[in-house]
Amino acid sequence: MTENRLKDSLSPYLRSAAHQPVDWHEWGDEAFQKARDERKPLLLDIGAVWCHWCHVIDRESYENPEIAALINRLYIPVKVDRDERPDVDSRYQAAISAISGQGGWPLTAFLTPDGKPFFGGTYFPPEDSMGRPGFKRILLAISDAFNTRRPDVDQSAEALEQAVAKAEVFHGARGVFDPAVVQAAIDSAVSQFDTEHGGFGHAPKFPHSSVIDLLLERAKWSDGARLLAIAEKTLDGMAAGGFRDQIGGGFHRYSVDERWCVPHFEKMSYDNSELLKNYLHGYQALHLPQYQRVAESLIDWVGEVLSDPDRGGFYASQDADQTLDDDGDYFTWTQKELRAALPPDEARVMELYYDVGPHGEMHHNPEKNVLWIAASIEDICQKFRMSQDEATLRIAAAKGKLLAARRERRPTPAVDETLYVGWNAMFVSAYLDAGRVLERPDCREFALKTLDRILAEAWDESMGFAHRVGVPRLEGSLDDQVFTIIALLDAWETTLEPRYFEIAERAMQLAVTRFGDPELGAFFDRPRDAAPMGGLEVRRKPLQDSPTPSGNSVAAMALDRLFALTGKRAYREWAEKTLEAFIGSVPQYGLYAATYSLAALLHIRHPLQVIVTGTTNDSKASELERAAHEIYRFGKVVLRVAPERQSTGLLPAALREILPHLDAAVPRAFVCVETTCHPPIAEAQTLKALLSEVAAKVAVS
């Protein structure tokens, strides 16, 4: 079989198309020049290795010799991996959404030879079906329009480019920072809350991790009880549904229904890192042991499937399917399969617990059941006349057998082992959080190993962070810079190793210089000195949380944290300019601007710092440190300052003045906000009470 030019690509998604008869090009000058030379439009396909419908359009259309011949004759075809080139994807998603009202993957766009889009959509069937025009008909019609009505095509493309450019830099959105803007995201979340199933909006239902953290943060405020209940209902709904892999741990990408029952089965790194934080924070705020168990099972799955145990690093994703003929078959069960894997007494329990019957939820195979928690432990006890301990042990034993059967009898969906810097940094922060909250030194050590690998393989003193760990270097995005700066600050707070802080400061200076807008504030997603992207060359300032937290909001958090540690006003001024750049547009984004609201809260009240003194092995100091981690407060910093590794240079000014006059070997806790520190505390309960009191004090009207 002849392979096309994608066979040597570093992207697993592009390599998966190397056998196709389409004459694919990677994104770059060669494709654009060929389109100009041959006076042909470009056909742009953007997808990902984990994307089910991307594989469907590959098989139905791009592997079809007749359609491939049509494409090769009429177009210059270009294939892009959205994980590898988020800059390309984000711009064309905006453009095609403006044309069709719909975005997503696969993204199918038709471009002029200079890369400007004039028509597009998502998935197209090969022939007319499902109310969609067939791909063959579209290919012929678009080519005809390009060749016979070129002035109209160019005019349409130009107008679309201008509209996207205007929307992406938020013209007219700048204003004076107003803390009240925080309420917009909260009101949006409350209005869209699903009171029956948890979560926000209707089907399909996605996790909104920043919203959950925002609601947990508000728990100590007026009306906090209602917001805490919304967060709890959502955490419970996600944990009990098929959206969560009940057997293997971790979460799928989203639920196709309102009940969190039937998921799209791919598992993404960035979803799981942020959901891990949610359950850790939920455990801190609500002290419910089931949230600890959810977090622990997620960590177990990452350790087994989504990480490099030897060198450090978190892989990008796990696919949903093994073949195009299945739809999550690895994760679902027929009643016959479940009974074959379990002894009869355990099978009866699990059929009730997970609602497994002869007819399941999957359309492609009606016998397949998604596992979701349909019965409580109490229901099991009553039905089978057993104690709670006996029921719990029986369920645990059965889950172990089902997991073993899944591993042994089913081919495992592929894992994309690419290490993307920003997504790895997000997991580094989550694992450092797990190390503190769950007292898991293994999580702490793996996070630091991963961060050290990023520094060794993706950091450049003059360019900042690359997008991908390893060579050749792929230019880093704003997300790669700011997520890794946050991870470095988290690592410094955990270890007090100066190199983490020093690189964080240098990386932020580079981010301001290369990505920052000195005139209007905020940050562009691509550096100003990057090579031309080609195609839709518009500047873009990301605000929306979709699917990862907004890069500009995270940048503002990093700047305010650096200000709190250094006292350098330039950091706070840049944070405020960043928040001001979007202030007029934030309300219309609602819950999709939840990370902005968290950044605004941090800016209003400054990071809360808890400094614990005492020798490394002092049990009283450890008790104070443990107490400090038990209380959830967004942006809270806990520093363990032992005499043998004491470094007061980055501590609050008020504390720096008095600490040298105290016996650092005596265990104490100091709670500081900006320049003010409370009197030293010696008892864990007193510390928790003070932290709860401080958490309830806010400056938002």
pLDDT digit string, tens, across residues 502-526: 999 999 999 999 999 999 999 999 9
165-206 pLDDT, tens digit each: 888 888 889 999 999 999 999 999 999 999 999 999 999 999
Residue 646 pLDDT > 70: no
Do the domains spanning 5-168 and 606-701 agree at the CATH topology level?
yes
User: For position 172, what pLDDT does the model report?
Assistant: 85
Among the four given CATH numbers 3.40.30.10, 3.30.160.20, 3.40.720.10, 3.40.50.620, the one describing domain 606-701: 3.40.30.10
End-to-end Cα separation, the chain, in angstroms: 67
User: For position 523, what pLDDT does the model report?
Assistant: 98
Three-state DSSP state, 352: helix
Residue 258 pLDDT > 90: yes
Mean pLDDT of 25-48: 97
* Segment among 113-117, 290-294, 660-664, 680-684 with least mean pLDDT: 660-664
| Separation CA 596–CA 465 (nearest Å) | 23
Confidence of residue 277 (pLDDT cuts 50, 70, 90): very high
* Segment among 9-13, 201-205, 516-520, 655-659 with least mean pLDDT: 655-659
Confidence of residue 654 (pLDDT cuts 50, 70, 90): low
User: For position 650, what pLDDT does the model report?
Assistant: 74
Residue 661 pLDDT > 80: no
Residue 648 pLDDT > 70: no
User: For position 698, what pLDDT does the model report?
Assistant: 55
Mean pLDDT of 27-38: 96
* Segment among 99-103, 423-427, 491-495, 634-638 with least mean pLDDT: 99-103
Q: Exposed (0-12), middle (13-18) or buried (19+): which is 110, by Cβ within 10 Å?
A: buried
Residue 222 pLDDT > 70: no
561-573 pLDDT, tens digit each: 999 888 899 999 9
User: For position 167, what pLDDT does the model report?
Assistant: 83
Record the tokens describing residue 180, joined without a space.
């009240």
| Separation CA 306–CA 560 (nearest Å) | 32
Query: Which helix (H) or strand (E) element contains residue 612?
Result: strand 608-613
User: For position 641, what pLDDT does the model report?
Assistant: 87
Averaged pLDDT of the chain: 93
Q: Whose structure tokens read 């892989």? A: 315
Residue 647 pLDDT > 70: no
- What's the whole-model pTM score? 0.96
Residue 220 pLDDT > 80: no
- Residue 491 phi/psi, 5-degree rounding, is -65, -40
**In contact, 494 and 645? CB cutoff 8 Å:** no
User: For position 85, what pLDDT does the model report?
Assistant: 96
128-171 pLDDT, tens digit each: 887 778 999 999 999 999 999 999 999 999 999 998 888 888 88
User: For position 643, what pLDDT does the model report?
Assistant: 79
Percentage with pLDDT > 70 across the chain:
97
User: For position 651, what pLDDT does the model report?
Assistant: 72
Record the tokens describing residue 51, joined without a space.
């994307």
Mean pLDDT of 364-386: 96
Number of Cα atoms under 13 Å in the Cβ half of residue 537: 10
108-120 pLDDT, tens digit each: 999 999 999 999 9
Q: Which residues touch 414 (CB under 8 Å, ≥6 apart)?
A: 12, 49, 318, 319
For residue 441, what are the CA distances in angstroms to 444, 500, 611? Answer: 5, 19, 20
Residue 655 pLDDT > 90: no
**In contact, 628 and 612? CB cutoff 8 Å:** yes
CATH code linked to domain 5-168 = 3.40.30.10
| Separation CA 684–CA 663 (nearest Å) | 19
Residue 699 pLDDT > 50: no
Domain boundaries, the chain: 5-168, 201-300+317-415, 606-701
| Separation CA 410–CA 96 (nearest Å) | 38
Query: In this predicted model, which residue has the larger pLDDT, 320 or 579?
Result: 579
| Separation CA 34–CA 51 (nearest Å) | 29
| Separation CA 522–CA 14 (nearest Å) | 33
User: For position 701, what pLDDT does the model report?
Assistant: 41
Distance of CA 154 to the CA centre of its chain: 37
Confidence of residue 322 (pLDDT cuts 50, 70, 90): confident
Mean pLDDT of 538-544: 95
51-63 pLDDT, tens digit each: 999 999 999 999 9
Residue 694 pLDDT > 90: no
* Segment among 332-341, 417-426, 431-440, 687-696 with least mean pLDDT: 687-696
- The torsion region of residue 201 among left (phi > 0), alpha (psi -120 to 50) and beta comes to left
Mean pLDDT of 527-554: 93
User: For position 401, what pLDDT does the model report?
Assistant: 98
